[in-house]
Amino acid sequence: MAFLHESVLPLTLPAPGDLDRIGVVAAQVRTPALIYDLDLLSAQVARLRSDTVAIAHVQLCFAVKANRNPDVLRHLAALGLGADVASPAELAAALAAGMFPIMATAPAWQGADLANLATAGVTPDCDNVSQVERWGAETLLPRQIGLRLRTALAPHTDPTRRPTSRFGVSLDAPELWEAIERYGLAISQLHVHTDVWADDAAIERLLDDLTVALQRLPDIERINLGGGMASLEATPARARQVWLQVAEAVRDWQVWRQRPLEIVLEPGLGIAGMAGYLVAAVVATEDEPDGTRLATLDASGWTLFPWVRPQPVLQIPIGTGASRPHDLAGNTCNEGDLLAHQVPLAPVQVGDRVVFAGAGAYVSSMYRAAHGMPVPGEWILQGEQWRQSPSGI
Ligand SMILES: Cc1ncc(COP(=O)(O)O)c(C=O)c1O
């Protein structure tokens, strides 16, 4: 199974004290279950704020595509986070949670979606020229819009992967400028979402590209640097150094333009990834000739983890016996449905529970239905208190 963020997780693994709290809940909830730890969410937000403190006027907006559980979103809203939304359902979830401000970029907004964004006071970052045209032609919509800029992608071994993102517009496209002129639009926001954060030279190029874009677009008030920073945040010393580099560029832009510029960061994985856990129960076991213990669980890797890799962190009860490699398989008829491959565990038994870290982002929000299996219940943990939450799936 291919995991989009495979190289990113694990982030910082939970501290033993956090695992104890999670274990208490995990032993009691009906399986399969997702548990979101609000204290870990708060800690991640505090860390990101502290890492980016040198950037003047920075606003964190949680990428709701990563998790739209209403309690998670309300908690982030209470911490002062806005939202990044990519669909009508995500917009509704962000508004219901009271998240402000709301950023929006998606390749397929329809006309009605754009009008709904405007009604909610959201200025979308248009992903393509067709969207700019559609927005411009609706004369009752504000004349200010944002643009998502097309960026280069990091080199990749997959020959079918495009060298540039399929998202965003190129400032060199004449039809973009024709549409801006025809409809009397002013570009007030720029958005980029890239995978450059692991590469110093690519970060430098991105900042240079933004400088050029600012020269061509005099009305810019806000630059949104997107998400994708989880791997960066996993190495704190480098994160601090990169954010200082960004802060310096922002300072230069402000001095040159003689006015403030708001910087938006919209991480999803980096905030919520390690704040969520999956609890699954073992329903079948088998010992294989090569010494692997194959255990089937009552949850599926295929339906729950299409984007990220879960990591087993707890066995309940604590296992006894010598550790052996385990393949932890999901409950669908998909041959490749594994939650973990060759992980060392004390032999698990039918009825045992396994807790996986890394289930806070792109799990419930990316759930795919199969066999009509029940969706996992969602639970909130805060301090020692826990409660069931409405489903965000
Ligand atoms: C436009 C945009 N912003 C933010 C994010 C969040 O990225 P991450 O969860 O990797 O931080 C994504 C993820 O796909 C995205 O497409």
pLDDT digits (tens, 9 = 90+) for 312-352: 999 999 888 999 999 999 999 999 999 999 999 999 999 99
Q: Is residue 127 in contact with ligand 1, taking CB distance under 6 Å?
A: no
Residue 391 has pLDDT above 90, yes or no: no
pLDDT digits (tens, 9 = 90+) for 36-49: 999 999 999 999 99
pLDDT for the residue 160 = 75
* H helix or E strand, kind and range, residue 178: helix 174-182
Instruction: Kindly give the distance from the C-alpha atom of residue 230 to the centroid of ligand 1, in angstroms, as a whole number.
Output: 10
Domain ranges of the chain: 16-37+274-389, 39-271
pLDDT for the residue 381 = 97
Higher pLDDT among residues 191 and 310, named by residue: 191
Residue 66 has pLDDT above 80, yes or no: yes
Contacts with 252 (C-beta within 8 Å, 6 or more apart), sequence order: 211
How high is the mean pLDDT of the chain? 92
- Could you tell which of 266, 363, 365 is best to mutate to test the pocket of ligand 1, judged by most ligand atoms within 8 Å of the CB? 266
Residue with CA closest to ligand 1 atom 4: 227
Which residue, 281, 245, 360, 343, is CA-closest to 12?
360
pLDDT digits (tens, 9 = 90+) for 122-171: 999 999 999 999 999 999 999 999 999 998 777 666 777 777 889 999 99
pLDDT band at 8 (very low <50, low <70, confident <90, very high): very low
Q: Is residue 301 in contact with ligand 1, taking CB distance under 6 Å?
A: no
Instruction: Kindly give the distance from the C-alpha atom of residue 224 to the centroid of ligand 1, in angstroms, as a whole number.
Output: 11
pLDDT band at 4 (very low <50, low <70, confident <90, very high): very low
Topology (CATH) of 39-271: TIM Barrel (3.20.20)
Cα 83 to Cα 76, 272, 344: the distances in Å are 9, 13, 39
Cα 260 to Cα 142, 204, 215, 250, 297: the distances in Å are 22, 21, 15, 9, 53
pLDDT band at 12 (very low <50, low <70, confident <90, very high): low
Mean of the pLDDT values across residues 173-177? 97
Beta-bridge partner residues of 147:
126, 190
**Rounded CA separation 91/72 (Å):** 15
Higher pLDDT among residues 69 and 159, named by residue: 69
Q: Is residue 269 in contact with ligand 1, taking CB distance under 6 Å?
A: yes
The pTM for the full model equals: 0.94
Q: Is residue 272 in contact with ligand 1, taking CB distance under 6 Å?
A: no
Q: Is residue 226 in contact with ligand 1, taking CB distance under 6 Å?
A: yes
Which residue, 246, 166, 181, is CA-closest to 211?
246
Q: Is residue 37 in contact with ligand 1, taking CB distance under 6 Å?
A: no
Higher pLDDT among residues 99 and 309, named by residue: 99
Residue 14 has pLDDT above 90, yes or no: no
Give the strand pairing for 222-224 and 377-382: unpaired
State which CATH number among 2.40.100.10, 3.40.50.300, 3.60.21.10, 2.40.37.10 fits the domain covering 16-37+274-389: 2.40.37.10
Q: In the numeric block, which tokens belong to residue 376?
A: 């996992």
Distance in angstroms between the alpha carbons of the first and the last residue of the chain: 22
Q: 3-class SS at 140?
A: coil
- Residue 63 CB-half CA count within 13 A: 25
pLDDT for the residue 157 = 65
pLDDT for the residue 353 = 98
Instruction: Kindly give the distance from the C-alpha atom of residue 363 to the centroid of ligand 1, in angstroms, as a whole number.
Output: 14
Residue 283 has pLDDT above 70, yes or no: yes
Phi, psi of 16 (to 5 degrees): -55, -40
pLDDT for the residue 281 = 98
Mean of the pLDDT values across residues 88-115? 96
